[in-house]
Amino acid sequence: MLLPLAPEPTMTAGLSGKTYLVTGGAGFIGSHVARALLSGGARVIVLDDFNDFYEPRLKEANVRPLLDHPGFRVQRADIRDTAAVRAIVSEAAPALADGAILHLAARAGVRPSLAEPRLYLETNVTGTLNLVEAAREFGVRKFVFASSSSVYGERSADGGPFREDQHVSKPISPYASTKVMGESLLHTYSHLHGLRVVALRFFTVYGPAQRPDLAIHKFTRLIDRGQTVPVFGDGSTQRDYTYVDDIVQGVLAALEYEQSRFEIFNLGESRTVRLSRLIELIEQALGKKALIERQPLQPGDVPLTYADISKARRLLGYEPATPIEEGIQRFVAWHLEQQAAP
Protein backbone atom coordinates (compact mmCIF):
# COMPACT_ATOMS: atom_id res chain seq x y z
CA MET A 1 0.00 0.00 0.00
CA LEU A 2 1.02 3.60 -0.46
CA LEU A 3 1.90 6.01 2.28
CA PRO A 4 -0.91 8.26 3.60
CA LEU A 5 -1.60 11.51 1.80
CA ALA A 6 1.05 14.08 2.61
CA PRO A 7 2.25 17.35 1.09
CA GLU A 8 4.31 16.66 -2.02
CA PRO A 9 7.30 18.94 -2.60
CA THR A 10 7.03 18.40 -6.36
CA MET A 11 3.50 19.84 -6.59
CA THR A 12 3.15 23.42 -7.81
CA ALA A 13 0.37 25.93 -7.38
CA GLY A 14 -0.33 25.88 -11.11
CA LEU A 15 -1.96 22.44 -10.87
CA SER A 16 -4.09 23.13 -7.80
CA GLY A 17 -7.86 23.25 -8.41
CA LYS A 18 -7.61 21.57 -11.83
CA THR A 19 -8.93 18.16 -12.84
CA TYR A 20 -6.87 15.37 -14.39
CA LEU A 21 -8.04 12.12 -15.95
CA VAL A 22 -5.29 9.62 -15.10
CA THR A 23 -5.47 6.39 -17.08
CA GLY A 24 -3.78 3.50 -15.33
CA GLY A 25 -4.10 5.49 -12.13
CA ALA A 26 -4.37 2.39 -9.95
CA GLY A 27 -0.99 1.15 -11.12
CA PHE A 28 2.46 1.80 -9.76
CA ILE A 29 3.34 5.16 -11.30
CA GLY A 30 -0.26 6.28 -11.72
CA SER A 31 -1.16 5.90 -8.06
CA HIS A 32 1.94 7.88 -7.01
CA VAL A 33 1.00 10.67 -9.43
CA ALA A 34 -2.62 10.64 -8.26
CA ARG A 35 -1.53 10.97 -4.64
CA ALA A 36 0.77 13.87 -5.49
CA LEU A 37 -1.96 15.69 -7.44
CA LEU A 38 -4.51 15.26 -4.66
CA SER A 39 -2.01 16.38 -2.03
CA GLY A 40 -1.48 19.60 -3.97
CA GLY A 41 -5.17 20.44 -4.32
CA ALA A 42 -5.98 19.00 -7.76
CA ARG A 43 -8.88 16.67 -8.55
CA VAL A 44 -8.23 13.23 -10.03
CA ILE A 45 -10.39 10.85 -12.05
CA VAL A 46 -8.71 7.46 -12.39
CA LEU A 47 -9.59 5.32 -15.41
CA ASP A 48 -8.37 1.77 -14.83
CA ASP A 49 -9.65 -1.72 -15.62
CA PHE A 50 -7.83 -3.41 -12.70
CA ASN A 51 -6.81 -6.23 -15.06
CA ASP A 52 -4.95 -9.35 -14.01
CA PHE A 53 -1.57 -8.60 -15.63
CA TYR A 54 -0.52 -8.67 -11.99
CA GLU A 55 -2.69 -9.19 -8.95
CA PRO A 56 -5.67 -6.77 -9.02
CA ARG A 57 -5.66 -6.66 -5.21
CA LEU A 58 -2.37 -4.75 -5.38
CA LYS A 59 -3.98 -2.08 -7.55
CA GLU A 60 -6.95 -1.96 -5.18
CA ALA A 61 -4.48 -1.40 -2.35
CA ASN A 62 -2.81 1.40 -4.29
CA VAL A 63 -6.02 3.45 -4.51
CA ARG A 64 -7.61 2.47 -1.20
CA PRO A 65 -5.97 5.30 0.78
CA LEU A 66 -7.32 7.80 -1.78
CA LEU A 67 -10.96 6.71 -1.91
CA ASP A 68 -12.17 8.99 0.88
CA HIS A 69 -10.56 12.08 -0.64
CA PRO A 70 -13.30 14.41 -1.94
CA GLY A 71 -11.35 15.20 -5.10
CA PHE A 72 -10.87 11.57 -6.13
CA ARG A 73 -12.99 9.07 -8.02
CA VAL A 74 -12.44 5.88 -10.00
CA GLN A 75 -13.93 4.87 -13.35
CA ARG A 76 -13.50 1.16 -14.09
CA ALA A 77 -13.15 0.60 -17.82
CA ASP A 78 -10.82 -0.88 -20.43
CA ILE A 79 -9.25 1.72 -22.73
CA ARG A 80 -9.83 -0.69 -25.65
CA ASP A 81 -13.58 -0.13 -25.15
CA THR A 82 -14.26 2.79 -27.48
CA ALA A 83 -17.78 3.50 -26.17
CA ALA A 84 -16.71 3.42 -22.53
CA VAL A 85 -13.75 5.74 -23.13
CA ARG A 86 -15.93 8.13 -25.12
CA ALA A 87 -18.55 8.24 -22.35
CA ILE A 88 -15.99 8.84 -19.60
CA VAL A 89 -14.15 11.61 -21.46
CA SER A 90 -17.45 13.22 -22.52
CA GLU A 91 -18.64 13.41 -18.92
CA ALA A 92 -15.30 14.68 -17.63
CA ALA A 93 -14.55 17.12 -20.48
CA PRO A 94 -15.97 20.29 -18.85
CA ALA A 95 -13.82 19.71 -15.77
CA LEU A 96 -10.81 18.87 -17.96
CA ALA A 97 -10.99 22.18 -19.83
CA ASP A 98 -8.06 23.58 -17.83
CA GLY A 99 -6.64 20.18 -16.86
CA ALA A 100 -5.45 17.27 -18.97
CA ILE A 101 -5.61 13.62 -19.82
CA LEU A 102 -2.57 11.89 -18.32
CA HIS A 103 -2.31 8.61 -20.21
CA LEU A 104 -0.30 6.11 -18.16
CA ALA A 105 -2.36 2.98 -18.90
CA ALA A 106 -0.62 0.33 -21.01
CA ARG A 107 0.29 -3.27 -21.29
CA ALA A 108 3.85 -2.97 -20.08
CA GLY A 109 7.00 -5.03 -20.32
CA VAL A 110 9.24 -6.21 -23.13
CA ARG A 111 9.20 -9.96 -22.46
CA PRO A 112 5.41 -10.40 -22.05
CA SER A 113 4.89 -8.49 -25.30
CA LEU A 114 6.75 -11.22 -27.19
CA ALA A 115 4.07 -13.71 -26.12
CA GLU A 116 1.02 -11.49 -26.67
CA PRO A 117 1.82 -8.91 -29.37
CA ARG A 118 -1.83 -8.52 -30.44
CA LEU A 119 -2.92 -7.67 -26.89
CA TYR A 120 -0.14 -5.09 -26.67
CA LEU A 121 -1.11 -3.51 -29.98
CA GLU A 122 -4.80 -3.37 -29.10
CA THR A 123 -4.20 -1.88 -25.65
CA ASN A 124 -1.29 0.45 -26.30
CA VAL A 125 -2.20 1.70 -29.77
CA THR A 126 -5.97 1.28 -30.13
CA GLY A 127 -6.43 2.33 -26.50
CA THR A 128 -4.37 5.47 -27.10
CA LEU A 129 -6.36 6.19 -30.27
CA ASN A 130 -9.62 5.89 -28.31
CA LEU A 131 -8.40 8.40 -25.74
CA VAL A 132 -6.93 10.97 -28.12
CA GLU A 133 -9.95 10.76 -30.42
CA ALA A 134 -12.24 11.39 -27.44
CA ALA A 135 -10.01 14.29 -26.40
CA ARG A 136 -10.36 15.78 -29.90
CA GLU A 137 -14.12 15.26 -30.00
CA PHE A 138 -14.86 16.74 -26.60
CA GLY A 139 -12.33 19.56 -26.57
CA VAL A 140 -9.71 18.36 -24.09
CA ARG A 141 -6.70 20.42 -25.11
CA LYS A 142 -3.80 18.80 -23.24
CA PHE A 143 -2.58 15.21 -23.35
CA VAL A 144 0.45 13.80 -21.51
CA PHE A 145 1.59 10.35 -22.62
CA ALA A 146 3.78 7.77 -20.88
CA SER A 147 6.25 6.46 -23.42
CA SER A 148 9.34 4.37 -22.70
CA SER A 149 13.10 4.24 -23.04
CA SER A 150 12.54 0.99 -24.97
CA VAL A 151 11.78 3.06 -28.09
CA TYR A 152 15.52 3.64 -28.51
CA GLY A 153 16.16 -0.04 -29.29
CA GLU A 154 19.78 -1.18 -29.26
CA ARG A 155 21.21 2.32 -29.35
CA SER A 156 24.29 1.53 -27.33
CA ALA A 157 27.17 1.46 -29.79
CA ASP A 158 28.82 4.63 -28.50
CA GLY A 159 27.77 4.16 -24.86
CA GLY A 160 26.49 7.72 -24.75
CA PRO A 161 23.18 8.89 -23.34
CA PHE A 162 20.02 8.65 -25.45
CA ARG A 163 18.69 11.97 -26.76
CA GLU A 164 15.14 12.79 -27.77
CA ASP A 165 16.23 13.89 -31.26
CA GLN A 166 17.69 10.47 -32.12
CA HIS A 167 15.74 8.30 -34.55
CA VAL A 168 13.56 5.59 -32.97
CA SER A 169 12.70 3.70 -36.14
CA LYS A 170 14.17 0.35 -35.06
CA PRO A 171 12.45 -0.89 -31.89
CA ILE A 172 13.24 -4.53 -31.05
CA SER A 173 10.12 -5.66 -29.14
CA PRO A 174 6.36 -5.41 -29.72
CA TYR A 175 6.08 -3.31 -26.56
CA ALA A 176 8.65 -0.80 -27.83
CA SER A 177 6.92 -0.71 -31.22
CA THR A 178 3.60 0.20 -29.60
CA LYS A 179 5.23 3.10 -27.77
CA VAL A 180 6.79 4.41 -31.00
CA MET A 181 3.36 4.16 -32.65
CA GLY A 182 1.73 5.96 -29.74
CA GLU A 183 4.15 8.87 -30.01
CA SER A 184 3.62 9.05 -33.77
CA LEU A 185 -0.17 8.97 -33.46
CA LEU A 186 -0.15 11.75 -30.88
CA HIS A 187 2.13 13.88 -33.05
CA THR A 188 -0.40 13.52 -35.86
CA TYR A 189 -3.28 14.64 -33.62
CA SER A 190 -1.25 17.54 -32.31
CA HIS A 191 -0.45 18.64 -35.87
CA LEU A 192 -3.97 18.21 -37.26
CA HIS A 193 -6.09 19.30 -34.30
CA GLY A 194 -3.90 21.61 -32.21
CA LEU A 195 -3.80 19.24 -29.26
CA ARG A 196 -0.98 20.05 -26.84
CA VAL A 197 0.96 16.80 -26.31
CA VAL A 198 3.89 15.92 -24.08
CA ALA A 199 5.37 12.41 -24.43
CA LEU A 200 7.54 11.25 -21.55
CA ARG A 201 10.08 8.48 -22.09
CA PHE A 202 10.42 6.78 -18.70
CA PHE A 203 13.66 5.00 -17.83
CA THR A 204 13.25 1.91 -15.57
CA VAL A 205 11.10 3.32 -12.80
CA TYR A 206 11.22 1.74 -9.33
CA GLY A 207 10.07 2.48 -5.80
CA PRO A 208 7.32 1.56 -3.31
CA ALA A 209 4.38 -0.29 -4.91
CA GLN A 210 6.46 -1.23 -7.96
CA ARG A 211 4.97 -4.03 -10.06
CA PRO A 212 6.00 -7.38 -8.54
CA ASP A 213 7.28 -8.74 -11.87
CA LEU A 214 9.90 -6.01 -12.31
CA ALA A 215 13.53 -6.75 -11.51
CA ILE A 216 14.09 -4.74 -8.34
CA HIS A 217 10.89 -5.96 -6.70
CA LYS A 218 11.38 -9.54 -7.88
CA PHE A 219 15.05 -9.70 -6.85
CA THR A 220 14.33 -8.19 -3.43
CA ARG A 221 11.55 -10.70 -2.78
CA LEU A 222 13.62 -13.70 -3.87
CA ILE A 223 16.79 -12.69 -2.02
CA ASP A 224 14.78 -12.01 1.13
CA ARG A 225 13.23 -15.49 0.92
CA GLY A 226 16.53 -17.20 0.19
CA GLN A 227 15.32 -18.33 -3.24
CA THR A 228 17.35 -18.39 -6.43
CA VAL A 229 17.46 -15.21 -8.50
CA PRO A 230 17.27 -15.67 -12.30
CA VAL A 231 19.83 -13.41 -13.95
CA PHE A 232 19.71 -13.17 -17.73
CA GLY A 233 23.23 -12.90 -19.11
CA ASP A 234 26.44 -12.25 -17.19
CA GLY A 235 25.17 -9.25 -15.19
CA SER A 236 26.81 -6.69 -17.46
CA THR A 237 23.60 -5.17 -18.86
CA GLN A 238 23.09 -1.60 -17.69
CA ARG A 239 19.96 0.36 -16.88
CA ASP A 240 19.17 3.95 -16.00
CA TYR A 241 17.12 3.29 -12.85
CA THR A 242 14.81 6.15 -11.86
CA TYR A 243 13.14 6.51 -8.47
CA VAL A 244 9.40 7.04 -8.67
CA ASP A 245 9.43 10.36 -6.78
CA ASP A 246 11.70 11.78 -9.48
CA ILE A 247 9.36 10.52 -12.21
CA VAL A 248 6.41 12.15 -10.42
CA GLN A 249 8.32 15.43 -10.38
CA GLY A 250 8.76 15.23 -14.15
CA VAL A 251 5.14 14.24 -14.80
CA LEU A 252 3.79 17.17 -12.79
CA ALA A 253 6.08 19.56 -14.65
CA ALA A 254 4.88 18.11 -17.96
CA LEU A 255 1.27 18.78 -16.97
CA GLU A 256 2.19 22.46 -16.73
CA TYR A 257 4.29 22.63 -19.90
CA GLU A 258 2.91 25.18 -22.40
CA GLN A 259 5.83 26.22 -24.62
CA SER A 260 5.11 24.08 -27.68
CA ARG A 261 2.34 21.95 -29.18
CA PHE A 262 4.28 18.68 -29.20
CA GLU A 263 7.33 17.74 -27.18
CA ILE A 264 9.17 14.60 -26.08
CA PHE A 265 11.21 14.40 -22.89
CA ASN A 266 13.42 11.74 -21.35
CA LEU A 267 12.79 11.21 -17.64
CA GLY A 268 15.64 9.22 -16.12
CA GLU A 269 18.34 9.41 -13.50
CA SER A 270 20.98 9.96 -16.23
CA ARG A 271 23.29 7.34 -14.76
CA THR A 272 23.78 3.70 -15.71
CA VAL A 273 24.02 0.85 -13.21
CA ARG A 274 25.19 -2.66 -14.07
CA LEU A 275 22.81 -5.48 -13.17
CA SER A 276 25.49 -7.06 -11.00
CA ARG A 277 25.85 -3.80 -9.04
CA LEU A 278 22.07 -3.54 -8.60
CA ILE A 279 22.03 -7.00 -7.01
CA GLU A 280 24.89 -6.00 -4.70
CA LEU A 281 22.90 -2.96 -3.52
CA ILE A 282 19.85 -5.10 -2.76
CA GLU A 283 22.03 -7.62 -0.91
CA GLN A 284 23.53 -4.83 1.20
CA ALA A 285 20.13 -3.34 2.03
CA LEU A 286 18.68 -6.73 3.02
CA GLY A 287 21.81 -8.03 4.70
CA LYS A 288 21.48 -11.26 2.68
CA LYS A 289 23.35 -12.82 -0.23
CA ALA A 290 21.70 -13.64 -3.54
CA LEU A 291 21.64 -17.17 -4.93
CA ILE A 292 22.23 -16.47 -8.61
CA GLU A 293 20.88 -18.68 -11.38
CA ARG A 294 22.41 -17.72 -14.74
CA GLN A 295 20.11 -17.80 -17.76
CA PRO A 296 20.55 -16.79 -21.42
CA LEU A 297 19.89 -13.23 -22.52
CA GLN A 298 16.27 -12.74 -23.55
CA PRO A 299 15.08 -11.63 -27.00
CA GLY A 300 13.91 -8.02 -27.01
CA ASP A 301 16.09 -6.96 -24.07
CA VAL A 302 18.57 -4.17 -24.75
CA PRO A 303 22.10 -4.06 -23.31
CA LEU A 304 21.91 -0.45 -22.15
CA THR A 305 19.52 2.38 -21.33
CA TYR A 306 20.94 5.81 -20.52
CA ALA A 307 18.94 9.05 -20.49
CA ASP A 308 20.18 12.43 -21.61
CA ILE A 309 17.95 14.63 -19.44
CA SER A 310 19.38 18.01 -20.44
CA LYS A 311 16.20 18.91 -22.35
CA ALA A 312 13.93 18.04 -19.42
CA ARG A 313 16.21 19.99 -17.09
CA ARG A 314 16.07 23.04 -19.35
CA LEU A 315 12.37 23.08 -20.23
CA LEU A 316 10.69 21.29 -17.32
CA GLY A 317 13.06 22.11 -14.47
CA TYR A 318 13.41 18.36 -13.99
CA GLU A 319 16.09 17.39 -11.48
CA PRO A 320 16.24 13.82 -10.18
CA ALA A 321 17.19 13.78 -6.52
CA THR A 322 17.34 10.11 -5.52
CA PRO A 323 20.50 8.17 -6.43
CA ILE A 324 20.19 4.41 -6.79
CA GLU A 325 21.98 3.78 -3.47
CA GLU A 326 19.34 5.76 -1.58
CA GLY A 327 16.45 4.54 -3.71
CA ILE A 328 17.24 0.87 -3.11
CA GLN A 329 17.43 1.50 0.63
CA ARG A 330 13.98 3.11 0.50
CA PHE A 331 12.53 0.32 -1.60
CA VAL A 332 13.88 -2.43 0.64
CA ALA A 333 12.54 -0.61 3.73
CA TRP A 334 9.11 -0.51 2.07
CA HIS A 335 9.36 -4.21 1.17
CA LEU A 336 10.23 -5.19 4.74
CA GLU A 337 7.38 -3.05 6.05
CA GLN A 338 4.97 -4.89 3.75
CA GLN A 339 6.26 -8.25 4.93
CA ALA A 340 5.73 -7.26 8.57
CA ALA A 341 2.19 -5.98 7.99
CA PRO A 342 -0.65 -8.22 9.27
Q: What are the catalytic residues?
A: 175
Q: Are 171 and 150 in contact (CB under 8 A)?
A: yes
Q: Are 263 and 199 in contact (CB under 8 A)?
A: yes
CA gap 21, 46 in Å, rounded: 6
CA gap 81, 29 in Å, rounded: 22
Three-state secondary structure call for residue 153:
coil
CA gap 215, 219 in Å, rounded: 6
305: left (phi over 0), alpha (psi -120 to 50) or beta: beta
CA gap 214, 280 in Å, rounded: 17
Three-state secondary structure call for residue 103:
strand
CA gap 265, 33 in Å, rounded: 17
CA gap 278, 211 in Å, rounded: 17
Three-state secondary structure call for residue 76:
strand
Q: Are 231 and 270 in contact (CB under 8 A)?
A: no
With DSSP H G I counted as helix, E B as strand and the rest as coil, what are the percentages for the chain, rounded to 5? 45, 20, 35
H or E segment and range at residue 248: helix 244-256
Distances (CA, A) of 164 to 113, 206, 267, 307: 24, 22, 11, 9
28-39 and 244-256 helices cross at what angle (nearest 10)? 60
Q: What is the dihedral of CA 65, 68, 74, 76, to 10 degrees?
A: 80
